[in-house]
Amino acid sequence: MRRVESKLRVRYAESDQMGVVYYANYFVWMEVGRVDYCRDLGFEYRDMEADDGIFLAVTDAHCRYRGAARFNDEIRVVTWVSESRSRTIRFSYEIRHADDDQLLATGETLHTVCDRDGKTVRLPEKYRSFFPLTNSA
């Protein structure tokens, strides 16, 4: 299973007055991971939308927090596809401190493949090799 790693440094704006990262920013980091994952596969997420009219709408998102990231920490977001079906793709994530590998959070996002009008469609053949179908439930 292909895993792609993204490195980020926690910005001041992502933390509260105590320097601890605000919880919603973990979902932003997951998005960074997804975009980097697609780029690593050989295509740009934005081109899939602009050129092919295919959108991966988030229909479910989960994050389990296990440790605190703080302002100026370097973190790693590890992203992989844990499930792929003809109309949905599930990405999984681990967010870790870059220096000591401490697990900060785990998460998943489920995406439904949609056209420009928001109608659910099958993943086009052009992208199926990037997201091979799995048998997961």
Tell me the pLDDT tens digit for each residue of 26-67: 999 999 999 999 999 999 999 999 999 999 999 999 999 999
3-state secondary structure of 123: coil
CB 83 within 8 A of CB 136: yes
Active-site residue, from 16, 47, 60, 99: 16
Return mean pLDDT, the chain. 94
Known catalytic residue at 99: no
> Residues 38-46: contacts with CB within 8 Å, 24+ apart?
38/130, 40/2, 40/4, 41/2, 41/130, 42/130, 43/127, 43/130
* pLDDT reported for residue 23: 95
